[in-house]
Amino acid sequence: MGMSSTEWSRYMHDELGVPMEPDEISAAVVEGLKAHYRRHVPLLPHAVETVRALAQRWPLAVASSATRPLIDLVLELAGMAGLFRVTVSSEEVPRGKPAPDVYIEAARRLEAAREQCVAVEDSTNGIRSAGAAGMRVVAVPRPDFPPSAEALRVADAVLASLTELEATLEELT
């Protein structure tokens, strides 16, 4: 989790011996994920209503390790496409998470100072990435794949649910 598609497809080819070229690996995985997401978008509970509420108050960005087609598809399927001013895929920056590149680019596109941004993350590499970018970090761990305890120590807040996010952002901003 966290690597860009270029990084993980190269890793699968070079280190795991998958007998396809990296671009073929990436394309196959993306197509499989698109089909899966069309059946079920794996959002955290309360994601849509939380994003709708936050978008009325703050400019929002997506800084994701997913590919551009997957970002766009998920936002469309979830009915959230128009709620984000900026979306950035880690394949659009030199390094994927845990490097800070995707978050730095999202702040740049928002024309916002990184230290004034709050990142909401659910993964170990995402928390590390946002922290390395100099942002405040709110962790909302996925119960099925929680971040490491070490990564959670980087977070400014750890929430049990997205329903707590708006009040937490009030405190952090």
Residue 124 to residue 1: CA distance in whole angstroms: 8
pTM: 0.89
Query: pLDDT at position 1, please?
Result: 55
Query: pLDDT at position 51, please?
Result: 98
Is the CB of residue 121 less than 8 Å from the CB of residue 127? yes
Cβ atoms within 10 Å, residue 119 = 23
Burial of 171 (0-12, 13-18, 19+ CB in 10 A): exposed
Query: pLDDT at position 2, please?
Result: 61
Query: pLDDT at position 57, please?
Result: 95
Query: pLDDT at position 6, please?
Result: 81
Residue 80 to residue 54: CA distance in whole angstroms: 12
Cβ atoms within 10 Å, residue 32 = 10
Query: pLDDT at position 26, please?
Result: 87
Residues of the chain with pLDDT under 50: none
